[in-house]
DNA sequence: TTACTTACGTTCGTTAGCGCACGGAAGCCG
DNA sequence: CGGCTTCCGTGCGCTAACGAACGTAAGTAA
């Protein structure tokens, strides 16, 4: 059993009323997720749901030829395993750890039970699921119309957002926040997620590096000028980011919402 | 108020227990949806949910350049407006009538109330939402890796499936089932949905016609050899079809499901 | 019938991304 | 230190799809 306070590192859990969080904490455990670990195989019965705190997970589908494409990513803002409460209990996608780190997990039965209580957790998870859907449909659009460089910017920015700790959680973070955010990942893995060739990433990343926006070093990407990435990224980044913000902020607001 | 029996033309509604269906029927009305009608604009507050009986609706996103891409389609097997019960009340996508026809609609408040009762309807709608997610992520993959001809086959087959009446509902359908299923749509519109050029569709459709699989005539496509399309289609079609079948058949089955 | 709109057919130059192959260098390990 | 694996850089021919322009025919309306 975990202290409820540590669970606040996940933004979904942080949005729960204290009572519900305490209840959930009884059945949560913290796990370390190493880079590349496959959490869900397509069609497999899921045993746990994961609420990342520092880890990032990539949802993608692998086609018969072996190629693949990411449909969404999951970080501190979300959770993995929506099919557990949506009713399907499995998905056609795979889930792989894209950035090593920590996550909290809860087994299927306890999650389902908590969801079926119909409280704030249910509301929150459903809203998050809608945010996931936005990511998926935006991935479809982006794959169709935007070039590799734009998609790489989108991927970098979304990953960066998931790595950066919340401002209001700053007191919880003991170590100093790193001045230069650095992603630990190879070009080959990025290529797999975007569903493009490794060489395509090499070229696009080279362009960004030549412009001084990032710095590359064998499996590490340092983002030097976040603003520069934001200027080159396609609209898809903003759409996804705004929709996540919209759906996960005014939780409990049962008003008709903005027109 | 409608007779509950007519609502059975929509497969989601048909899967409801009679009592729940009767309850819903009190607040349902039938509407005619003309080709091209936009039911939802992005970000707009939704007023109704739609359960198509013969109409087909396309969910897609339009980017700044004016290009677009479909993320999912909705026909008799589903419903439009999941964001009403998911909590967002709006989506970033547009919804446009792709095939003219009939649908049942219910206003936001009554749908939400029925959903919150937590009965079979809730379970069903959540499972359907997961099926929608499968379509979306598969669209992302398909856009990335499969050629226009394959995508056209996928689109034709999925549309065909939505047009073909259920076998077990055959007694309800008064007119004879058409021997040659014909879609009423222009190449230009198909191109918009797939997010490709009109000329691309002209060429791909020309290939299929040359092979005798379809016949084209100014806004009408007759499918001559469904089997031939199934041979050329990419795996995405099967993935989506199977997942819809899986999620919407064993409703109520609370077993652990297939591993 | 004639005029007109809408939809389909075709061509051509251009380009983003692919597949393949090879070279080189960074980092790890004995 | 030397050897080895992994990762990144580069070049080259190739193809699917793009953008634009123009022609033609089907259907519609006067």
Would you call B137 and A243 a contact, using CB atoms and an 8 Å cutoff?
no
Which two structure tokens, joined as six digits, stand for B214? 């379809």
As a whole-number percent, the residues of chain B with pLDDT over 70 amount to: 90
Spatial contact of A45 and A90, defined as CB atoms under 8 Å apart: yes
Q: What is the Cα–Cα distance from A250 to A229, expressed in whole angstroms?
A: 28
Spatial contact of A137 and B61, defined as CB atoms under 8 Å apart: yes
- Among all protein residues, pick the one whose CA is nearest to the C1' atom of C11: B199
Would you call A71 and B141 a contact, using CB atoms and an 8 Å cutoff?
yes
pLDDT of amino acid B173: 47
Pairing of strands A182-184, A94-99: unpaired
A199 C-beta less than 7 Å away from strand D: yes
Q: pLDDT per residue over B11-48, tens digit each?
A: 999 999 999 999 999 999 999 999 999 999 999 999 99
- Residues paired with residue A69 on neighbouring β-strands, in sequence order: A61
Q: pLDDT per residue over B90-137, tens digit each?
A: 999 999 999 999 999 999 999 999 999 999 999 999 999 999 999 999
Q: pLDDT per residue over A177-211, tens digit each?
A: 456 789 999 999 999 999 999 999 999 999 999 99
Using the predicted structure, report yes or no on whether residue B255 has a pLDDT greater than 70: no
| Alpha-carbon distance A223 to nearest alpha carbon in chain B (angstroms) | 27
Q: Looking up tokens 């650095």, which residue turns up?
A: A182
Of A68, A133, A144, the CB nearest to B143: A144
CA of A212 to C1' of C30 (A): 38
Using the predicted structure, report yes or no on whether residue B221 has a pLDDT greater than 70: yes
Q: How many CA atoms lie within 13 A of A255 on its CB side?
A: 5
pLDDT of amino acid A181: 83
Angle CA A227–A228–A231, to nearest 5 = 90
Report CA torsion sign: B202, B204, B206, B209.
negative
Angle CA B43–B48–B51, to nearest 5 = 115
Residues of chain B in contact with residue A258, where contact means CB-CB under 8 angstroms, are 43, 45, 90
Collapse the DSSP code of B185 into the 3-class scheme (helix H, G, I; strand E, B; otherwise coil) and give the result. Answer: coil
- Residue B202: which pLDDT band, with cuts at 50, 70 and 90? very high
pLDDT of amino acid B3: 83
Would you call B86 and A256 a contact, using CB atoms and an 8 Å cutoff?
no
CA of A219 to C1' of C30 (A): 24
Would you call B258 and A44 a contact, using CB atoms and an 8 Å cutoff?
no
* CA–C1' nearest nucleotide, residue A219: D7
φ, ψ (nearest 5 deg) of residue B10: -95, 130
Would you call B137 and A71 a contact, using CB atoms and an 8 Å cutoff?
yes
- Residue A257: which pLDDT band, with cuts at 50, 70 and 90? very low
- Residue A164: which pLDDT band, with cuts at 50, 70 and 90? confident
Q: pLDDT per residue over A77-123, tens digit each?
A: 999 999 999 999 999 999 999 999 999 999 999 999 999 999 999 99
Using the predicted structure, report yes or no on whether residue B175 has a pLDDT greater than 90: no
Using the predicted structure, report yes or no on whether residue A255 has a pLDDT greater than 60: no
Spatial contact of B208 and B221, defined as CB atoms under 8 Å apart: no
Nearest chain A alpha carbon to B42:
A259
Residues of chain B in contact with residue A45, where contact means CB-CB under 8 angstroms, are 256-259
| Number of CB atoms found within 10 A of residue B172's CB | 12
Using the predicted structure, report yes or no on whether residue B178 has a pLDDT greater than 70: no
- Among all protein residues, pick the one whose CA is nearest to the C1' atom of C9: B202
Residues of chain B in contact with residue A136, where contact means CB-CB under 8 angstroms, are 71, 133, 136-137, 139-140
Spatial contact of B148 and B196, defined as CB atoms under 8 Å apart: yes
CA of A168 to C1' of C8 (A): 59
| Nearest C-alpha neighbor of A183 from the set A154, A208, A162, A201 | A162
Which two structure tokens, joined as six digits, stand for B206? 């020309």
Using the predicted structure, report yes or no on whether residue B256 has a pLDDT greater than 50: no
Using the predicted structure, report yes or no on whether residue A258 has a pLDDT greater than 80: no
Please give the average per-residue pLDDT across B50-73, as a whole number. Answer: 97
pLDDT of amino acid B250: 64
CB-contacted nucleotides of strand D (7 Å): 6-12, 16-21, 26-27
pLDDT of amino acid B122: 97
Q: Which of B137-151, B161-175, B181-195 has the weakest average pLDDT? A: B161-175
Q: What is the Cα–Cα distance from B58 to B193, expressed in whole angstroms?
A: 8
Using the predicted structure, report yes or no on whether residue A171 has a pLDDT greater than 60: no
pLDDT of amino acid B172: 47
Would you call B136 and A141 a contact, using CB atoms and an 8 Å cutoff?
no
A22 C-beta less than 7 Å away from strand D: no
Using the predicted structure, report yes or no on whether residue B170 has a pLDDT greater than 90: no
* CA–C1' nearest nucleotide, residue B197: D18
Q: Which of B9-23, B91-105, B172-186, B201-215 has the weakest average pLDDT? A: B172-186
B199 C-beta less than 7 Å away from strand C: yes
| Alpha-carbon distance A247 to nearest alpha carbon in chain B (angstroms) | 6
As a whole-number percent, the residues of chain A with pLDDT over 70 amount to: 90
Would you call B137 and A72 a contact, using CB atoms and an 8 Å cutoff?
yes
Q: For residue B47, what are the contacts with CB-CB under 8 A and spacing of at least 6?
A: B107, B108
Range list of H helices, B117-211: 120-145, 148-163, 187-194, 198-210
* CA–C1' nearest nucleotide, residue B149: D16
A202 C-beta less than 7 Å away from strand D: yes
pLDDT of amino acid A249: 87
- Residues paired with residue A57 on neighbouring β-strands, in sequence order: A74, A97
């Amino acid at each position: 059993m975990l202290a409820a306070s540590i669970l606040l590192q996940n933004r979904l859990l942080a949005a729960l009323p204290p009572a519900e969080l305490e209840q959930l904490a009884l059945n949560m455990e913290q796990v370390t997720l190493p880079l590349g670990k496959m959490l869900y195989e397509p069609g497999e019965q899921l045993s746990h749901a994961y609420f990342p705190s520092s880890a990032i997970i990539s949802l993608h589908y692998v086609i018969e030829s072996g190629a693949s494409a990411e449909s969404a990513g999951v970080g501190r803002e979300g959770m993995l395993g929506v099919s557990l409460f949506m009713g399907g209990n499995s998905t056609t996608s795979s889930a792989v750890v894209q950035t090593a780190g920590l996550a909290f997990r809860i087994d299927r039965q306890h999650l389902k039970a908590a969801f079926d209580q119909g409280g704030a957790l249910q509301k929150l998870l459903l809203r998050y699921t809608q945010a996931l859907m936005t990511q998926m449909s935006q991935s479809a659009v982006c794959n169709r119309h935007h070039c590799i460089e734009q998609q790489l910017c989108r991927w970098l920015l979304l990953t960066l957002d998931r790595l950066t700790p919340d401002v209001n959680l700053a007191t919880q973070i003991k170590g100093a926040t790193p001045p230069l955010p650095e992603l630990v990942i190879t070009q080959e893995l990025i290529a797999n997620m975007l569903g493009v060739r490794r060489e395509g990433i090499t070229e696009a990343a080279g362009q960004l590096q030549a412009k001084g926006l990032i710095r590359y070093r064998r499996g590490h990407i340092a983002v030097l000028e976040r603003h520069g990435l934001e200027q080159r990224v396609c609209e898809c980044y903003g759409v996804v980011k705004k929709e996540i913000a919209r759906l996960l902020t005014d939780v409990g607001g049962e008003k008709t919402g903005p027109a």
